[in-house]
Amino acid sequence: MTTFSLTLLGLGAMGQALASTALEAGHPLTIWNRTSGKTDGLTTQGATAAGSVREAVTASEVIVVCLYDHASVHAVLDTEAETLRGRTLINLTTTTPEEARELAAWSERHGITYLDGAIMATPSMIGSPDSVILYSGSQKAFNIHRELLGAWATSTYDGDDAGLASLWDLAMLSGMYSMFAGFLHGVAMLQSAAIPARSYAQRAAPFLAAMTELLGHSTEHLDTRDYSQPLQSLEWTTTLLDTIERASREQGITAAPVETVQRLIRQQIDAGHGAEDFDRIIESMRAAAQIQ
């Protein structure tokens, strides 16, 4: 692997994992964190702790940022814009797509090469092929530093629009958290009858895995927006969800995850689409975006 000097700003759990993996790959590493205590373990591995952001930035041509949020990136980097000129900035902070685009535009104004990254992994997964990091922005930066990026995770380049990596990341996480919320609702239902979560997980995991096969059914009509050949109609589904809501109340728990879906269904039924496929609820999501 070709090694080069690298600076990492931000040493939370993810930053620590990124730094440790970069050191294992042989890259000379300069680190900075707002609170200095987090640098100690990494300096024993060979990293150099910088006393200031400017010192950290001037130490390397490649600057990796893994901070709390979009605002914290600006708080750390705005005063060092000129110092960053001519360098490559790889931002692994979780942001919205528009925030990523704003940082790309800010970088361009200051002569900084910008690559945005979205980490789809936990800190413990960094360095394994099971971890994934999505990138968008400068393809040149992605190509030049691909070996380093590959040391962290399986890397995917999604295009020169800097917001695409974030968009993909958040879309995937939306599906994940919605699924987890539904799982936890099921756990709560069964725990009300003294059935342990482990028992539910043992049955739910294979069932939910099988249900993901239906995602392929959705793709064509989601793109054409033709829901006239239902696998499961909205009218049928709303009756089932009504039953889940009643059962939840009987067991003394909230039906909040189901109620969210039910609101979307009823909007489409009220608009005259009750005989169409369940996936039509996406039109309620799109309508909300247009109203905003």
Residue 132: what residue type? V
- pLDDT at res. 291: 44
Report which of 149, 33, 174, 47 is spatially closest to residue 91, judged by C-alpha positions: 149
CA distance 30 to 9: 9
Fold of 6-160: Rossmann fold (3.40.50)
- pLDDT at res. 288: 62
Tens digits of residue pLDDT in 210-264: 998 888 777 888 999 999 999 899 999 999 999 999 999 999 999 999 999 999 9
CATH architecture of 192-291: Orthogonal Bundle (1.10)
pTM of the entire predicted model: 0.89
Tens digits of residue pLDDT in 179-194: 999 999 999 999 999 9
- pLDDT at res. 289: 57
Q: Rounded mean pLDDT of 149-174?
A: 97
The residues spanned by each domain of the chain are 6-160, 192-291
197 pLDDT higher than 80: yes
Q: What percent of the chain has pLDDT over 90?
A: 89
